[in-house]
């Protein structure tokens, strides 16, 4: 088998929560060990909102493989087949695709002014699966010495079977009105593993920025949950941290089984703030 077990698959199969640690600032692979020590199950390596390079991502992914914490990578919106190929060849065991809109197939309309009237990212869900999987499930190109197989020469039929089955998770972000409206058909796409709610962008699109407790936002999450359960997909949640009430509702009512629990930059910022806030008390207690 591939050199790292896909903890998303094993956790979900056991009815447990797969806890993801986000990386957008730190390029030192030792941060992966710290995440593992803390009890995280997977990495959420962010290429959408960071300046990380492909090489940075590969080093972090390989560290995840060696440490036993499954590396997933969020790619930039509409980055294309070639970019996703490099992320997977670099060691990622799955790809997180932002700003999914639909899975519909629209007729080809050559006129630019007519094309502009069609919703963006046509067939987003199907395209995400296709560029993540080897034929016949998709169109990913074959190469040798892959990190998920410890850089060992591996028979192509084994690479195809094991990669398509457990080393190329497809995680689609639901963070637009279009996605919520089309969530049932998105969830029905074969090869999709997770529908991950991008809470901040979705709340903004719904007209309730930061309004995670509003009926509008909660209703959207309920729609995603129902679609996931109807089609046997995993529901994920990102963007809501340090809010036990919402997390409890998401896990125990909506059956969320994949959660982005923390981002390295946020942990540094909050830890630094707590450190400085505590200093006046230390200085006061030390007087006399």
Using the Cα atoms of residue 254, residue 255, residue 258 and residue 262 in order, give the sign of their dihedral.
Answer: positive
Respond yes or no: is residue 77 known to be catalytic: no
Phi and psi dihedrals of 133, rounded to 5?
A: -115, 150
Using the Cα atoms of residue 163, residue 176, residue 225 and residue 265 in order, give the sign of their dihedral.
Answer: positive
Tell me if residue 62 falls in helix, strand or coil: helix
Residue in 49, 99, 101, 231 annotated catalytic: 49
Q: By C-alpha distance, which of 250, 177, 245, 239 is closest to 207? A: 177
Q: How far apart are CA 123 and CA 106, in angstroms?
A: 8
Cβ–Cβ < 8 Å for 148, 167: yes
Residues marked as catalytic: 49
């Amino acid at each position: 088998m591939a050199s790292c077990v896909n903890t998303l698959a094993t956790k979900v199969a056991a009815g447990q929560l797969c806890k993801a640690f986000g990386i957008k600032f730190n390029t030192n692979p030792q941060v992966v060990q710290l995440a593992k020590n803390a009890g995280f199950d997977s990495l959420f390596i962010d290429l959408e909102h960071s300046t990380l390079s492909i090489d940075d991502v590969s080093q972090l992914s390989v560290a995840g493989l060696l440490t036993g914490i499954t590396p997933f990578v969020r790619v930039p919106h509409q980055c294309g087949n070639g970019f996703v190929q490099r992320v997977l060849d670099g060691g990622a065991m799955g790809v997180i695709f932002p700003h999914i809109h639909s899975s519909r197939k629209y007729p080809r309309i050559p006129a630019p002014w007519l094309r502009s009237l069609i919703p963006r990212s046509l067939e987003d869900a199907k395209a995400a699966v296709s560029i993540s999987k080897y034929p016949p499930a998709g169109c990913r190109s074959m190469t040798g010495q892959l990190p998920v197989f410890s850089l060992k020469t591996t028979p192509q039929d084994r690479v195809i079977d094991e990669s398509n089955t457990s080393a190329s998770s497809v995680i689609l972000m639901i963070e637009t009105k279009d996605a919520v409206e089309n969530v049932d058909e998105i969830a029905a796409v074969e090869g999709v593993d997770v529908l991950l709610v991008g809470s901040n962008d979705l709340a903004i699109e719904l007209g309730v920025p930061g309004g995670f407790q509003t009926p509008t936002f909660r209703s959207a999450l309920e729609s995603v949950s129902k679609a996931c359960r109807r089609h046997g997909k995993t529901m994920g949640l990102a963007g809501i941290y340090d809010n036990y009430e919402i997390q409890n509702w998401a896990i125990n009512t909506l059956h969320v089984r994949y959660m982005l629990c923390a981002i390295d930059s946020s942990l540094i910022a909050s830890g630094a703030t707590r450190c400085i806030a505590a200093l006046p008390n230390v200085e006061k207690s030390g007087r006399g």
